[in-house]
Chains A and B, each alone.
Chain A
Amino acid sequence: MRRLAGVDPAAARLGLFAGQKATDAAALAPELVVAEAEPEADAAALGALVDWCVRFSPAVAADPPDGLFLDVEGLSHLWGGEDALMADFRARLAANGLAPRLALADTPGAAWALAHFGVDGTIAAPGDAARWLEPLPPAALRLEPALAAQAERLGLKTVGRLTGLPRAPFARRFGVEALLRLDQALGRAKEALVFRRPPSPWVARLAFAEPVSVPEDLARVSRDICGELCARLEAEGRGARRFELAFHRVDGLAPALSVGLSLAGRDSVRLAKLFAPRLETIDPGFGIEVATLLALDVELLSPRQRRLDAGAEAALEEGLAPLVDRLANRLGEGRVWTACAMESHAPELAAARAPALTAGLAADWDPELPRPLRLFRRPQLLEKVIAPVPDDPPLQFRWRGQLHRIRRAEGPERVAEEWWKHAFEETSPERVRDYYRVEDHDGRRFWVFRAGLYAAGEPAKWWVHGVFG
């Protein structure tokens, strides 16, 4: 059976409603135009809206299918009051073609109830939510529709009547879930919202009377906003490892830049310098009206002591860390690393990449197992190999068009595959490698291996996996 998923204002005036059978609706309004519901597109649009709302508050949680929660605690002074904040929010949503129902209350539950069943635009004063909730129907508590209907059948037509009931019988009749919803609405129980991104209280916001778009203005804005946030971080003795600078455009898009630091920092000049070369990638469109800077991965950072005999520590702070940050932000994070030891039998996995300047990296490779200076990403097949069977290193081979006669060799070092990582059927002796370190008459040293075990009648395959210096 096909049902209406949503109706526009004109259809609503004709008496159509969401959830109505499509055939009934067509009977009521023969000229009805229907379009297929697209829940995925709706969800994506809600996600985009949540991202856009970050201009108002860093803590935004989607409430599918059609709602969202905005945590505005401690933010309203930026607009000059909660009603001004709400008016601005409404005006901007309307400018994007949305007709929101808004409510502001102490708890997400109460705000949800007022937005869905109360008067649009209600602002419940702190501690006043219970009074506002009283006249609303039980469905306002986000109960299951069946439960809400049952409550109404029992004559409990308002939330006020429900709150008056003794708790134990209430829980017995309607279930613990319903009691929890009631408590959440009244602020007696905590509710966890899934914020779109981790809420960080470390946010700075600059709004402009006139939209800006000139590159020089963006540079100045990024300097100012970095200075503002870094001053706060400094005052609280914190530093952050990641900063996100978002430019909110007039048309609702918010292109963002992100920089990472190798050590937590709060040096505004350095931070602005990291943003500066990438500002030109920002397309200001018709202008930018708000900029926000968000600090993530905030950690304690004690004030630095300027010492004359500052040694390695100071060099790290003043030289290396900014260098690594510059490189990582200019080239990309995967392109700057320090190798660290990894427990693996596969030689190509033994050196893992760790972010540069990570403290306490293990570099304890086994010195008994010589490894080449250059390790090829893929072993290269050797041609014209002459090697005594079954288990001897090659006497000569051809590689890259050049014949190498082997003078000395040592090995083998048998490297078996990591069979515990695969299904039993996939393991095979074919994947055993016998590595030899060989040296040709000119002194070039190669790391070659034979794939698989010796099998009579089958020519062995030899590969070179790396070269020693």
Chain B
Amino acid sequence: MSDFRAGRLAAVRARIAALEAGGRGDSESLPFGDPRIDDKLPGGGLPLGAWHEVFGEGLESETAAAPAAFAALAAAPLALRGAAVWVLRRDDLHAPGLAGLGFPPQRLIQVLARDETEVLAVMEDALATTGVAAVFGEAEAVGLVAGRRLQLACEKRGGVGFVIRRKPYGGAARGAAIGAAAASRWRVAAAPSEPAAGDLGLGPPRWRVGLERCRGGRPGAWLFEAARAFAADVLRGKTDGTHPLRLVAELGDRDLAPAQSFRLAG
């Protein structure tokens, strides 16, 4: 093959890659800092320039506390670079709690939307804005069109979005698997904490996290721990550069079985 031909081919390949990435060059990613999870993710980390779906089950589908905590900590390294926007339906996100987990709250803008459509519209607007590092939104479901719009907004600036699935209290469950446009889909549940030996009380919060679907990656399940929960340095905006989520163990499939719920008579 002549040099000329090879050059043409390389140029065409580069153009196709650029088109697929929505006009951006290499798609960036944010590593968790542990090969046990990073190896399974495309590009060696949480893909940026895309949005991710995070959800919990049972009680968590209404309170959405564990999914919110996981999403916040996964994006915490980004929140140090720029502002974060959190779009709420219910006004119950407590900033001191978020700060205690290790998410810097100083540049978190909270937005209370009136309905589901508005949540997605505000997310889209925020994702396309310079200076916004991460966008979180609490929505019940994301339709295909809305999901595609979010994806386009993410690609515009390489922002990262998290849709935290949450249904209203007492509301009926709506379509479960509507996250087709999301780059990845995470199932998050709280896990029993393990305090240090001899320590009374609770240990750092832990989560059982299952990656159910990931474009260009492989599914898996892991046990995470908040590495810097309730530490003083985060509140002052100081970090040592490590990821606030520490991977404790990789879980097999059987560990992922939904936790049994006690049902007592009476």
Contact = CB atoms under 8 A, between A and B. Distances in A.
Contacts, number: 184
Contacts of B101: 373, 469
Interface in A345-372: 350-351, 356-357, 361, 363-365, 367-368, 370-372
A326 B64 CA distance: 28
B242 interface: no
A469 to B, nearest CB: 2
Contacts of A405: 262
Interface residues of B, number: 70
A402 B122 CA distance: 35
A319 interface: yes
A408 B195 contact: yes
Contact of B114 (A331, A338, A374, A377): A331
Interface in B41-70: 58-60, 62-70
A371 B232 CA distance: 14
Nearest to A398: B264
Contacts of A407: 192
Given A365-B100, A439-B202, A445 B114 contact: no
Contact of A316 (B70, B72, B114, B131): B131
A14 to B, nearest CB: 62
A266 B38 CA distance: 47
A437 B195 CA distance: 14
B260 to A, nearest CB: 8
A468 B97 contact: yes
Given A367-B100, A407-B192, A336 B110 contact: yes
Contacts of A402: 58-59, 261
Interface in B205-240: 205-208, 229-232, 234-236
Nearest to B88: A335
Given A367-B232, A400-B59, A319 B131 contact: yes
A440 B12 CA distance: 57
B117 interface: no
Contacts of A341: 96
Contact of B131 (A312, A331, A372): A312
Given A324-B109, A338-B106, A444-B59, 4 more contacts: A316-B131, A319-B129, A371-B96, A443-B193
B146 interface: no
A443 B189 contact: yes
B95 interface: yes
A327 interface: yes
A347 B26 CA distance: 45
B256 interface: no
Contact of B112 (A331, A364, A372, A443): A331
B97 A403 contact: no
Interface of A: 312, 315-316, 318-320, 322-324, 326-327, 331, 334-339, 341, 350-351, 356-357, 361, 363-365, 367-368, 370-377, 400, 402-403, 405, 407-410, 437, 439, 441-445, 466-469
Contact of A338 (B96, B110, B125): B110
B82 A337 contact: no
B91 interface: yes
Contacts of B262: 403, 405, 441
A443 B131 contact: no
Contacts of A316: 131
B202 A408 contact: yes
Contacts of B193: 408, 439, 443, 445
B264 A403 contact: yes
**Most B C-beta atoms less than 10 A away, residue of A375, A400, A405, A443:** A443
B130 A319 contact: yes
B98 interface: yes
Given A402-B261, A439-B202, A443-B189, A331 B113 contact: yes
Interface string B94-122: 11111111000111111111100010001
Contacts of B97: 370-375, 466, 468-469
B83 interface: yes
